[in-house]
Amino acid sequence: MEFETKAIHVGEEPNLTGGDSSDVVIPIHLSSTFARGKLNAPPNKYEYSRSGNPTREALEKRLAALENARFGLAFSSGMAAVTTICLTMLKAGDHILAFDDLYGGTKRIFEKVFNTNFNIELSYVNATDVQNIENSIRKNTRLIWLETPTNPLMKLCDIRAISRLAHENNITVVVDNTFMSPYFQQPLELGADVVVHSTTKYLNGHSDSVGGAIMLSDEALFNQLKFNQNTAGAILSPFDSFLVLRGLKTLPLRMKQHEENAIKIANFLDSSPLVQKVYYPGLKNHPQHELAKRQMSGYGGMMSFVLKGGPEEAKAFLEGCRIFTLAESLGGVESLIEHPASMTHSYLPKEEREKLGISHSLIRLSVGIENINDLLTDIQNALNQIK
């Protein structure tokens, strides 16, 4: 079954044997608990919706299918998924080796919770060079945590090469695949062990649900993750599960349009005299464009760029947009624009932001699926504000 077909059908196959289970669209099972006829016989494997719910299970089947995984788990947020992975796989004294350019929320929980409160050791490296990973592996390294492309500088790392190296050292590789979605990149196929998503973003695609997901094929690890998810209660609600199920049906169509628009905008910005640098793996001048071509089937809808000038020019541009909405998050059908230094990465000390390249002139775009002419006009009008 091809990707587009799986995105529509897996998890919602009608039961044509009769009864009330022949729905083309799975119902939203809002019940918090399920009745049993006999004391020792839970009905249809469901007992209590924290432990299992038919709507959430349908979503988890589809999530797994789209990443070519055996198992999927749906969480109340992307950070709930991140937390459950760490709680399941790490103990005091273990070491996480992570890409130096990560989503701010991931860095925050690594540093302020797991490192500070639970004595989990933490190292960041520039994972664009596999040698940096190899040089930083310790005897107690248990997880290598990757984003590719990264947030917000769109750096890439070689998933296949890093996974091979990790497995030689008995280390688990986790890849946050939120930016690309399984439509454009499938880390498990490249050797990674676990994939994590914020379903809030492209998977749902409509900016009306907060959620997270984990996909993997290791049954023993899946059982541990599911146990801890149930124990901690970090589950996605039935209604949000329904929203993500519905959103996934159009994921292939949306991702194609996100990319088509993004390529045109990236080239437009790259040619502007008011723009110093554009970070988008679909541009030939991206330093890892060739890796992007090998590792991904498309380039996605995310990009960042550096305006010439300083904070005032950035402020004028950001507030000059009308169709690009100034807001955090990404991956919805509507175009969003944000300022990492004062929004998603504001918690980082100024020195660390500058070391990473997150300056006050850096702007991140989540390119939506609106008409491209309207988007280009909006950007040009905003650029006119800083001339």
Q: What is the pLDDT of residues 279-311, one digit of tens each?
A: 999 999 999 999 999 999 999 999 999 999 999
pLDDT band at 18 (very low <50, low <70, confident <90, very high): low
Q: What percent of the chain has pLDDT over 70?
A: 98
Does one domain contain both 232 and 365?
Answer: no
Residue 186 one-letter amino acid: Q
pLDDT at res. 344: 80
Give the SS3 label for residue 301: coil
User: What's the total number of domains in the chain?
Assistant: 2
Does one domain contain both 242 and 268?
Answer: no
Does one domain contain both 352 and 262?
Answer: yes
What is the mean predicted confidence (pLDDT) over 202-210? 98
Query: Average model confidence (pLDDT) for the chain?
Result: 95
H-only helix segments in the chain: 3-9, 54-66, 78-89, 104-109, 116-118, 130-136, 159-168, 181-184, 219-232, 238-248, 251-270, 289-295, 311-320, 350-356, 372-384
Per the model's pLDDT, the better-predicted residue between 386 and 253 turns out to be 253
pLDDT at res. 357: 85
Does one domain contain both 215 and 265?
Answer: no
pLDDT at res. 347: 76
pLDDT at res. 95: 98
User: Which of the residues are catalytic?
Assistant: 50, 103, 176, 201
Tell me how far CA of residue 218 lies from CA of 167, 229, 319, in angstroms: 14, 16, 47
Domain boundary among 201, 220, 248: 248
Reduce the secondary structure of 335-384 to three states and give it as a string.
Answer: CEEECCCCCCCCCCCHHHHHHHCCCCCEEEEECCCCCHHHHHHHHHHHHH
- Upstream peptide bond of 182 is cis (omega within 30 degrees of 0): no
Tell me how far CA of residue 177 lies from CA of 113, 117, 254, 296, in angstroms: 23, 27, 16, 11
Does one domain contain both 191 and 210?
Answer: yes
Domain boundary among 248, 282, 314: 248
Residue-wise pLDDT tens digits, 27-75: 999 999 988 878 777 667 888 999 999 999 999 999 999 999 999 999 9
Q: Which domain holds residue 200?
A: 3-248
pLDDT at res. 345: 83
Query: How far is 216 from 196, CA to CA, in rounded Å?
Result: 9
pLDDT at res. 16: 64
Does one domain contain both 219 and 86?
Answer: yes
Kindly report the CATH number assigned to the domain that includes residue 263.
3.90.1150.10
- Largest Cα–Cα distance of the chain, in whole Å? 75
Residue-wise pLDDT tens digits, 208-219: 999 999 999 999
3 pLDDT above the threshold of 60: yes
- Name the strand (E) or helix (H) holding 99: strand 95-99
Minimum mean pLDDT range among 99-113, 142-156, 346-360: 346-360
The per-type count for the chain, helices as H runs and strands as E runs, is: 15, 12
Query: How far is 272 from 142, CA to CA, in rounded Å?
Result: 45
Does one domain contain both 171 and 187?
Answer: yes
19 pLDDT above the threshold of 60: no
pLDDT band at 23 (very low <50, low <70, confident <90, very high): confident
Domain boundary among 248, 265, 290: 248
Per the model's pLDDT, the better-predicted residue between 16 and 241 turns out to be 241
Q: Are strands 336-338 and 362-366 parallel, antiparallel or unpaired?
A: antiparallel
- Upstream peptide bond of 152 is cis (omega within 30 degrees of 0): yes
Does one domain contain both 50 and 118?
Answer: yes
Instruction: Answer for the pair 196, 213: CB distance below 8 angstroms, yes or no.
Output: yes
**CB under 8 Å to 301, separation ≥6 — which residues?**
202, 255, 258, 259, 261, 262, 331, 366, 367, 368
Please give the structure tokens belonging to residue 362: 């850096």
pLDDT at res. 165: 98
Does one domain contain both 166 and 260?
Answer: no
Residue-wise pLDDT tens digits, 337-369: 999 999 888 877 888 888 888 899 999 999 999
What is the mean predicted confidence (pLDDT) over 219-233? 98
Does one domain contain both 236 and 309?
Answer: no
Of the candidates 172, 125, 104, which has an alpha carbon nearest to the alpha carbon of residue 144? 172
Does one domain contain both 200 and 276?
Answer: no
pLDDT at res. 228: 98
Instruction: Answer for the pair 324, 336: CB distance below 8 angstroms, yes or no.
Output: yes
pLDDT band at 20 (very low <50, low <70, confident <90, very high): low
